[in-house]
Amino acid sequence: MEAVLFVGVQGSGKTTFYKERFFDTHVRISRDMLKTRNRQSLLVSACLAGRQPFVVDDTNAAKSRRAEFIEPARAAGFRVRCFFFRCALREALGRNRRRPSGQVVPVPGVIATFKRLEPPVWQEGFDEISIVEVDAEDRFAVRDWTREQGDPPRLEREQG
Ligand SMILES: Nc1ncnc2c1ncn2[C@@H]1O[C@H](COP(=O)(O)OP(=O)(O)OP(=O)(O)O)[C@@H](O)[C@H]1O
Ligand SMILES: [Mg+2]
């Protein structure tokens, strides 16, 4: 059984990736859809109790938020996988801008998430970390990040 956590700013492609890769197998846990923390925790508990794989499709920018999922999932014997949607701010803003009008996120919200995003680190308890990037043809490129490589860094051009 696996619990999957996405980490990435608004517009980084998380929901698109979910639909491509997990729609048929994993329940989607999303704050946008569920609205309240209570509903979210009820649904996660149901997945854990029922041995149902799930994906937390949220920005999950803060380690503390991720811990709310990682600890119970591990306690229930789930493997925990992280997909880190590593993308430059301007790419996220560009994709956000091209969304259908009702789905465009206010720009300051994307920038704020970008600034506070804490990249995933092994110490949080992940069994696997993968990096998702979008290639020149707009396809998702997924790479496994090994423990030997240390913690995944931000893109160089994002630093500073
Ligand atoms: N690989 C891609 N190629 C082209 N367009 C993409 C790709 N991934 C996502 N998009 C487009 O970019 C926009 C944002 O993608 P998506 O909704 O998946 O982002 P998100 O990370 O789920 O954002 P949010 O956190 O706000 O839910 C959408 O309009 C989507 O169609
Ligand atoms: Mg989304």
Mind listing the domains of the chain with CATH numbers? Answer: 2-147 (3.40.50.300)
pLDDT at 136: 87
Q: Give the pocket of ligand 1 (CB within 6 Å).
A: 8, 10-16, 59, 95, 98-99, 105, 134, 138, 140
Residue 155 reports pLDDT greater than 90: no
Question: Which bound ligand lies closest to the C-alpha atom of 10?
Answer: 1
Task: Using DSSP bridges, classify how beta strands 27-29 and 2-7 pair: parallel, antiparallel or unpaired.
Answer: unpaired
Kindly report the pTM of this predicted structure: 0.95
Question: Cβ of 17: how many Cβ atoms within 10 Å?
Answer: 20
pLDDT at 46: 98
Residue 160 reports pLDDT greater than 50: no
pLDDT at 22: 98
pLDDT at 157: 55
Q: Is 83 exposed, middle or buried (0-12, 13-18, 19+ CB in 10 A)?
A: buried
User: For the segment 50-105, what is each residue's pLDDT rounded down to a tens digit?
Assistant: 999 999 999 999 999 999 999 999 999 999 999 999 999 999 999 999 999 999 99
Question: Which bound ligand lies closest to the C-alpha atom of 8?
Answer: 1
Atom 10 of ligand 1, residue of closest alpha carbon: 13
Measured in angstroms, how far is the CA atom of residue 160 from the centroid of ligand 2? 27
Measured in angstroms, how far is the CA atom of residue 105 from the centroid of ligand 1? 11
* Nearby residues of 128 by Cβ (< 8 Å), 6 or more positions away: 79, 80, 81, 82, 144
Average pLDDT in the 140-149 region? 96
Measured in angstroms, how far is the CA atom of residue 119 from the centroid of ligand 2? 18
User: For the segment 8-54, what is each residue's pLDDT rounded down to a tens digit?
Assistant: 999 999 999 999 999 999 999 999 899 999 999 999 999 999 999 99
